[in-house]
Structure 1
Amino acid sequence: MAKDNKHMSPIGPARMPLMDHLQELRRRLTIIVVSVVVTALVIYFATPTLIEFMIDPIRESLQGNGLAILGVLDGFTIRFKVAMFWGVIICTPIIIWEVMAFFLPALNEHERKWVVPTVAAMVALFFLGMVFCYIVIQQAAFGWLIDQSLEFATIVPNADDYLNIMMLLEVGFGFAFQLPLIIFYLSILHIVPYSVFRSQWRYIYVGLMVVCAIVTPDASPITMILMYVVLLALYEVSLGIARYVITQRDGKAALKWSREEYAEHEAESDSK
């Protein structure tokens, strides 16, 4: 009976046999999958309204035309994909929590206190990235892409293609906005010393540009440039916050600490 209660608890114990870890992983994946599927089934009936909402930023680029369906099965397929997309988006807090809760037992007491703020920040940043994409990116990206074809072709706004690109952009920016959190934790946990981020900024800036070129699904320079500018701003803001936390907690000397030096400092603090 105790074993069953262990698996039903929100957080598993720090040490479990391999099979128990696999059962815990299966339980959390089941929660995620069931949550997304049930939500998607409910949302399916509202997909026409949601699609209208999704294409609202690009209506001007459509030049008064609606989206076109090119196959008899396309309507069902598109509605199903949109329902699954919104199911995942609505269930994002559940997904993030279940993933974090699975790894939580591996964290020490000092690191666990960051879990709830981390989950809240991840969810907030993900939705912030989607909102930014919806308000700023969609119109600019589709406007540029459509302009490339107007002089030599008649554009048929294929609903499947348009919505696929829009959903990929939304998810891409949602994940891109997680960058501040990644940089923040790499810095304050001294996995990568803060001083390294500052001294190697040229390489990091180029690396961010390469990432933007890879992850933008529409291959539009407008989208890539906008994402690059945003990621640079988020990168600098996250480093500024990390610097404040590190100096307030451990002093300016800690900005150059390695992971080993940080671990020694934590051990000394615990022994006092």
Structure 2
Amino acid sequence: MNDELEGTEQPFVSHLIELRDRLIRSVIAIGVCFGALALYPGPAALFELLAHPMIASLPSGGAMIATSVISPFMVPLKVTLMTAFLLALPVVLYQVWAFVAPGLYIHEKKLVLPLVVSSTVLFIVGVAFCYFFVFGQVFHFIQSFAPKAITAAPDVEAYLSFVMSMFIAFGAAFEVPVVVVVLARMGLVPIDKLKAFRGYFVVIAFIIAAVITPPDVVSQLALAIPMCLLYELGIWAAVLFIRHTKAPEEAPPEQAPPAA
């Protein structure tokens, strides 16, 4: 038994060392982006940018409040760290790709690299869609129902928690095409069944939107409709991926020469 395991410890240790090095590079990339953002435009400016959709929906002169002593200091730093991670995401994903690529076949590399790039782009698009479109509509919709006797003054910690949950929800929802492609490419769900599942997915999308988003029609439709459209995009992309990432077929066996 010891003879069989002899020589396996060194490759395992080398993989751990490589994993550690790539994690360190990822952390350094996030740290560099954090330092640059801290210098310009600064944590306060980043938080004001993040809070703009909420502030714009409040009555004239409205502002947020901080119920915790350290919230005015910690919340802008958290926003800066979140932004730094998004900026460093290409470097982080490259480190992941460089770590797993040596163990993949050529046809698998053709599949993984486009999926890594597309998942990154789709997540960022989902976050941008949530910020530029959904927040403005949702906050104005909610304020339109607020009685005049209520003065809206959201807490900065609660606002950051809400924004983060919405960003994650929309970023994950925009990953639907990637999930569809992976299911089809791995042979778990055939393309025909994915097409037949359209009607059920519409229902599932609206249920997910009703659970994740605030209880208003605008945000629910803003999440459910893109999910349905992205599901169709995923089916179309799965057909292309399956066509261009197939493993090379084995060569047919040579025919034996006819007997003399």
How does the TM-score come out when normalised to structure 2? 0.78
Match of 1:133 in 2: 130
Aligned with residue 226 of structure 2, among 220, 225, 230: 230
Q: Which deviates more from structure 2 when the two are superposed, residues 177-186 or residues 139-148?
A: 139-148
For the 8 Å contact 1:85–1:167, the answer to whether it is kept is no
Find the structure with the greater CA-based Rg. Answer: 2
Cα deviation, 1:169-222, whole Å, max 9, x if unaligned, reads 223322321221221232234332111212233333333334334444x45553
1:124 Cα shift?
1.9
Q: CA deviation at 1:228?
A: 0.9
Query: What residue in structure 1 maps to residue 93 of structure 2?
Result: 96
Which amino acid in the other structure matches residue 77 of structure 1?
M
Q: Which AA in structure 1 matches 2:31?
A: V
Counterpart CA distance in 2 for 1:42 and 1:249 is: 40
- Distance in 1 of aligned mates of 2:149 and 2:63: 21
Aligned counterpart for 1:243 among listed residues 230, 239, 243: 239
CA distance in 2, matches of 1:90, 1:107: 27
RMSD over aligned CA atoms reads 2.7
CA distance in 2, matches of 1:118, 1:107: 14
CA gap 1:114/1:82 in 2 versus in 1, 3 angstroms: same
Percent sequence identity is 25
How many residue pairs get aligned? The number is: 240
* Alpha-carbon distance change, 172 to 29 in structure 1, aligned in 2, over 3 angstroms: farther
Unmatched 5+ stretches in structure 2: 1-9, 253-260
Q: Is residue 162 of structure 1 aligned with residue 142 of structure 2?
A: no
1:25 corresponds to:
19
Aligned to 2:57: 61
Distance 2:98 2:209 in 1: 30
Q: Deviations over 1:122-166 (max 9, x none)?
A: 222122112211221111222233445435532212222223322
3-state SS in 1 of match to 2:220: helix
- What is residue 139 of structure 2 aligned with on the other side? 142
Q: Normalising by structure 1, what TM-score?
A: 0.75
